[in-house]
Structure 1
Amino acid sequence: MGNLSEYHNLESKTQFYNCITINTEQEFDSAFNHIKANSKDYVFRSVNEAKFKLYSSAQRQWIWNDLSNKYTSYKDYVNSFIVNVQSHQHIVSFFYNNHIPLNDFVILALLQHYSQPSPLVDFTYNPLLSLFFAFDNVKPGTTGNEIDNYVSLYRLKYTHPCFCSIQDVNVHGTNTLSDTLRNLNIPLTQIDTSKVLFDIRNLTYNEYADIGIMLVHGDKMGITNIQIPALGFTCTYNITNPNLRNQEGLFMLNTTEDIPLEDLIRKKHRYVGPLIDCYDINKELEPYIRTTYLDPAGINHSLIYPQDKDSQNLRNWLGSF
């Protein structure tokens, strides 16, 4: 069984993050009020142990279970789950009946939010929701190591030039294709666009499997409509599911098999300062944060984890894989 890399102390995180350590209620109030007042263009993620690195769920399973011995590649491993969903009649019917086009990234979002392996790392547009996850099932530190006394809240500016979304890439690509077709003197009947149109419509994971990192916006940013008028082509991107709506969620795609997200971002953008802010918050502040910030906002398990019939069905169907 493989082991995930972890941070051994708070200082070791500073090479990847802009770090702030919070130990008192006053320090937290000051930091979090600043976060809320400046949340535009930012997305948030948290972990309930500051030592944890930002691995995706697929990476964790790949490493823990030594799956390189079972699959020819990490890409094939991820695709095996996509194929399972595409072959599941009840899941396909559920999305069809809810008028949600089912593409590879809708499937990956579904897998991620129902505890199945995916290469997506969860973020949220709402810092209060991320604060909930930071203290969800939190356990007091017992090792005597300072870092075990902290949770972490992360903040990333998604409008930074170093990041782009899969929706923006495809909108730009289809606009470029439309312009190119408009200026060609070749009859459209002589141009084979079937492969391109298939990949655009289905947001095929294989097309992104070697890209490293990419943002995948949730439905809070709106449904993306793609059009290529010259070909009469239209499609819709609605990366959503019941959990994703309540959690105001989005994702960062990490296609590597064993590099945590923060390591990958730092490696790709090593000539600029750290692009992620890290707030390491003392676990002893949990009662204060819950009663002062989370409870008044109505943020609890019932909101975050829907228990409606559709959610239960999806959970059962995916659990059968």
Structure 2
Amino acid sequence: MKLQEYSTLDEKEEFFINGKTKISVNITSIFKKLKEFETEGTNFIFRGCGEAKYRMYNSAQRVYITQELHKQVPPDSISEHYNKFVSESIQSCKQWNDGVVKRLLEDSGINENNSLAYLSYMQHYGVPTPFLDFTYNPYVALYIAIDDISFTPSENEIDNYFSLYYTYTDATAFKMWENVFDNRFNSQEIPYEQVAENEMSIILPSSEIYKVINNVNIINQKGLFLYNNHPWYPLEHQYKEFAAYVKKEMGEEKWDMLLLHDTIAGCFNIHKSLIPAIKKQLKSEGIDKKYVYPDMKDFTEQVSSEGILNCLTLKK
């Protein structure tokens, strides 16, 4: 089964603020807006996507849908089956290579039954999880969106665009999701059954998790995760249903007072013909492949070579 995609930019308007906005002439407006975001500090988070037509599916959803795993159970058991798919993946992570990941977490003071810790580890190394990557750095999100894209003009307009998404983290819903697990992230047991009780949440990996993963990419990418527990609704669809329900329950006046939004994020759709100019500008901002994806082989060679060179040029 194929994942659903947006057929037109107009379709995105239902799920994103400025969902059909197009930037196709120059890059000045893009970087002006990024500079404004930058001054807001951590009030916004970002996600870059190389295709404007892609919906916000996480990797667990992509596997579950495309492999048609839902056909293994009756329709009324799909949600339970999907949760089991994720929890079994966590168990496989615990048991992998004679439990080395489990021991790694324990040695770092993290509870061996903390499912969020395992999921964070799995997400970083490309194992399917219900997490979707975001970043506090708008320039990094923009770079990730255009990295390795090759542009071939298409008669289908949406194919000619990639997207940069942004969302406001000071909204009450985000603060609520952010605090669900924060205080217990390291030391306490957090079984996946408990995590799955939340339709959505923000996961901020702790410093201990960063130390465990021990990868320099994390420092520069400034990442965090948004959790979506639905088997097939992408994040923007899941949030829209949540927003409609809560708004109806509490009333529009209280909804507005709590700084809640009807859609999960805002969106810029940027023409792929601008990619060379964007990369050039990003490089001038210090954002390139070496920054976003540090190559430790390059680290070894450069530091070793410079050490030898410095030794050879020392004054006698």
Bin of the TM-score, shorter chain as denominator length: 0.7 to 0.9
* Cross-structure match for 2:22: 21
Post-superposition Cα deviations, 1:148-168, rounded to whole Å, max 9, x if no partner, equal 111111111122112246662
Tell me which of 149, 153, 157 is aligned to 1:146.
Answer: 157
Aligned equivalents of 2:192 and 2:210: distance in 1?
A: 16
What's the secondary structure of 2:42's corresponding residue? coil
Aligned equivalents of 2:294 and 2:31: distance in 1?
A: 30
Amino acid at match of 1:151: F
Aligned equivalents of 1:56 and 1:302: distance in 2?
A: 26
Cα displacement (A) at 1:94: 3.4
Aligned pair 1:124/2:151, yes or no?
no
Cα displacement (A) at 1:287: 1.3
Conserved? CA contact 2:178–2:201, under 8 Å = no
Aligned pair 1:246/2:220, yes or no?
yes
The 5 Å alignment of 1:169-208 reads 169-170=180-181, 201-208=188-195
Aligned equivalents of 1:100 and 1:210: distance in 2?
A: 22
Cα displacement (A) at 1:199: 11
Aligned equivalents of 2:186 and 2:222: distance in 1?
A: 27
What's the secondary structure of 1:53's corresponding residue? coil
Conserved? CA contact 1:46–1:130, under 8 Å = yes
Tell me which of 204, 210, 213 is aligned to 2:200.
Answer: 213
Conserved? CA contact 2:52–2:163, under 8 Å = yes
What's the secondary structure of 1:87's corresponding residue? helix
Amino acid at match of 1:300: D
Aligned equivalents of 1:44 and 1:14: distance in 2?
A: 18
Aligned equivalents of 1:17 and 1:83: distance in 2?
A: 36
Tell me which of 272, 275, 292 is aligned to 1:286.
Answer: 275
The 5 Å alignment of 1:99-138 reads 101-102=111-112, 103-138=114-149
Q: Provide TM-score, normalisation by structure 2.
A: 0.76
Tell me which of 153, 159, 179 is aligned to 2:170.
Answer: 159
* Cross-structure match for 2:11: 12
Cα displacement (A) at 1:136: 1.1
Aligned pair 1:50/2:30, yes or no?
no
Aligned pair 1:90/2:90, yes or no?
no
Aligned pair 1:40/2:39, yes or no?
no
What's the secondary structure of 1:288's corresponding residue? helix
Amino acid at match of 1:245: I
What's the secondary structure of 1:266's corresponding residue? helix
Conserved? CA contact 2:58–2:129, under 8 Å = yes
Aligned equivalents of 2:266 and 2:23: distance in 1?
A: 13
Over the residues paired in the alignment, what is the CA RMSD in angstroms?
2.8
Cα displacement (A) at 1:249: 0.7
Amino acid at match of 1:84: S
What's the secondary structure of 1:61's corresponding residue? helix
Conserved? CA contact 1:218–1:248, under 8 Å = no
The number of residue pairs the alignment matches comes to 268
Aligned equivalents of 2:233 and 2:211: distance in 1?
A: 25
Aligned equivalents of 1:285 and 1:68: distance in 2?
A: 40
* Cross-structure match for 1:192: none
Conserved? CA contact 1:140–1:283, under 8 Å = yes
Amino acid at match of 1:168: N
* Cross-structure match for 2:82: 74
Q: Provide TM-score, normalisation by structure 1.
A: 0.75
Post-superposition Cα deviations, 1:277-319, rounded to whole Å, max 9, x if no partner, equal 10111111111111112x134333333335559xxxxxxxxxx
Post-superposition Cα deviations, 1:174-216, rounded to whole Å, max 9, x if no partner, equal 8xxxxxxxxxxxxxxxxxxxxxxx9981222211214211111
Conserved? CA contact 1:149–1:282, under 8 Å = yes
What's the secondary structure of 2:279's corresponding residue? helix
List alignment gaps of at least 5 residues for structure 2. Answer: 74-79, 248-260, 298-316
Aligned equivalents of 2:228 and 2:14: distance in 1?
A: 20
Q: Which moved more, 1:123-132 or 1:15-24?
A: 15-24
Q: Percent identity among equivalent residues?
A: 28
Aligned equivalents of 1:119 and 1:60: distance in 2?
A: 10
Post-superposition Cα deviations, 1:62-103, rounded to whole Å, max 9, x if no partner, equal 000011245770011001110011113222333445555552
Q: Which moved more, 1:105-114 or 1:145-154?
A: 105-114
Aligned equivalents of 1:26 and 1:199: distance in 2?
A: 43
* Cross-structure match for 2:307: none
What's the secondary structure of 1:202's corresponding residue? coil
Aligned equivalents of 1:33 and 1:263: distance in 2?
A: 29
